[in-house]
Structure 1
């Protein structure tokens, strides 16, 4: 009898632990979040367009996203400036900046082939979020004298490769901007707060410990950034997407670029940026979204916290799910979605639902061949094999 009781208790304990693991991180708040979405659905998704023409559906969808991004600075000339040039085998890396608005400039690397005949196809290379704010464009381009901490980061997420360099070797013009709040555009102080000074005391800026300490501080301030931007009536993603699209303006201004052969690609937060570029930038002919494609409501089912300090056009999701935003670019932008089967940022159901939803739009428009998605049996990353398939997709649609 005692043995049976012990077995029952063990089973109850095991079930309790399982239930704790499966409970949404939102706990008692999860049903409220779910009820909001279930009651409303996504009224502007392609399948619910009713009698709207495809053109009118796309026009209204983009207008909805633009309103949610809520960033409409006054137009100014690009004023592209070249600050330095580094010669490479078959291409050169120009360190440039251009006007994002009347009030700030966007630093970027511009990789231009020196071999082969132009004009060349071009790609906007979008760096990740990664919780690593200290560097931005440097994650994707190798430079002399770069910080030693980048090696480990690239090893974990990029297969020890700088994929913007790889594309330039293949004859692409590549622009790699610092997104707002990363790299040269990260939060910096003339007089750092006392708490930050204490954290950094005794740390050598050349060490990885210094960079990680700064990344932790910057991650902690991201919620403050979101709030202050809201007070200004705009969004973090609004600024990021505006500047990413401004990169297309730079590319079409260059004699080395074929304006009819421009694409974009990015991992993780770069994939999030690529989603908004795919849906909102009609000049793109191809894109690759890596490690960030899911149906958003499924994230509420996850038993651990993810997606904090995320940039987004939040109110857009009153009408459009994340995959719906990408589908606004169909079929003009040939889209390849690369998902990581071991990715802990999403549920498999969420990734499946998103990928299939986008595919249904391309199929309905008679261009199933312009969409592809694939799983890779790896954690969250954009490794060398994935990069090669992404490059092949860009070659296919931009050559």
Structure 2
């Protein structure tokens, strides 16, 4: 199977810790670098200048929310169950809920069969992967699933549907489709001629069909970010809002203990996990896998990467990505899993981000609530990594 689209042009031999001589942006890089170096990150924990930790966190979250630029009018969740599949020890409910008054969010809800018990719960956040055709399906076992999905999961998840595994271990799990993925992917009543031409001779059941669609969708992420900006909002604003609505769904369920909710995700799911843990006080434990770095260091990379990312660019006037994760401290127990051979980041960037968050937890006298670890693997969330992530969630979301 071809590696996911963000990595198609990358040399397969360049490990994360090797910094190239010249940035992908060439002569523009020094200008861009100077902007951040001159400004720094004024709202980072170490720059709070005497204000209380609670006030620092309040201001930080308010600034992130302002930059996300998406706060639709509150509406009821209106959770609807569309189907139920019985599994050994749990059931999988196909649900949807209101993201706003104008759209609904499809999701899977996995509920263990443990009557009478209040259970811990997790928001499982699917990756970006440049693989837009599927979203929530990447994490949940399906009957007669598409061959491309099976291959994708083998490469990035060790072949395991980890939402099912969490349900087997006693977690209620919600897996929402992010905006632009899965059932929320880009579709047309009348497909543009170019898209129709690309797909015309391909079997919809083939891997090639899904690759062709994903390529088309990725090419339109620049326009998506532009038009969302024209509309006064951001891609990440919608994604984070819907992820927080997923917490609302879990907290509303009679099976769930609302004081024991966590989140986790790989890659773009790890990026989402950073924002969800940083912005949502109900998240008590989180795992960020394959997406933690100091953002300025990505300028040191010599190939095109991160160009199709959901982001709210104004956030980084004041906060680095690790600073958003730090907003979770100390009440949320945070585990950062880095891939030592990850070509999306430099080793220095991953190390500095992990250390920055560690210092915040240490200063708040809760060092045990933070862990970071490097794995000698490329960009993935393999079974061994999953086992350590699950153990972290079990440790901090168990009844005490």
- Bin for the TM-score computed over the shorter chain: over 0.9
CA distance in 2, matches of 1:198, 1:397: 51
1:71 aligned partner: 70
After TM superposition, the structure 1 = structure 2 runs for residues 39-50 of structure 1, keeping only pairs within 5 Å, are 39-50=38-49
Deviation at 1:117, TM superposition (A): 4.9
Q: CA RMSD in A?
A: 1.1
2:297 aligned partner: 298
CA distance in 2, matches of 1:192, 1:275: 35
1:12 aligned partner: none
2:177 aligned partner: 178
1:211 paired with 2:210, answer yes
For the Cα contact (< 8 Å) 1:140–1:164, is it kept in 2?
A: yes
**Structure 1 residues 31 and 120, CA gap change in structure 2 (3 angstroms):** same
Unpaired segments of 5 or more residues in structure 2?
1-17
CA distance in 2, matches of 1:151, 1:106: 24
Larger Rg: 1
CA distance in 2, matches of 1:95, 1:283: 24
How many residue pairs get aligned? The number is 381
1:23 aligned partner: 22
Deviation at 1:304, TM superposition (A): 1.1
2:266 aligned partner: 267
After TM superposition, the structure 1 = structure 2 runs for residues 9-20 of structure 1, keeping only pairs within 5 Å, are none
Moved more, 353-362 or 113-122: 113-122
For the Cα contact (< 8 Å) 2:20–2:300, is it kept in 1?
A: no
For the Cα contact (< 8 Å) 2:135–2:178, is it kept in 1?
A: yes
2:157 aligned partner: 158
Unpaired segments of 5 or more residues in structure 1?
1-18
Deviation at 1:90, TM superposition (A): 0.4
For residue 337 of structure 1, give the secondary structure of its aligned residue in structure 2: strand
After TM superposition, the structure 1 = structure 2 runs for residues 325-344 of structure 1, keeping only pairs within 5 Å, are 325-344=324-343
2:307 aligned partner: 308
Deviation at 1:21, TM superposition (A): 4.7
Structure number with the bigger relative contact order (C-alpha 8 A, sep ≥ 6) is 2
2:120 aligned partner: 121
CA distance in 1, matches of 2:343, 2:199: 31
For the Cα contact (< 8 Å) 2:19–2:301, is it kept in 1?
A: no
For the Cα contact (< 8 Å) 1:90–1:113, is it kept in 2?
A: yes
For residue 77 of structure 1, give the secondary structure of its aligned residue in structure 2: coil
Provide runs of 4+ in structure 1 moved above 4 Å.
none
CA distance in 1, matches of 2:249, 2:106: 12
1:33 aligned partner: 32
Spell out, residue by residue over 1:132-166, the C-alpha distance to the aligned partner (whole angstroms, 9 max, x if none).
00000000001112212111100110000000000
After TM superposition, the structure 1 = structure 2 runs for residues 191-270 of structure 1, keeping only pairs within 5 Å, are 191-270=190-269
1:103 aligned partner: 102
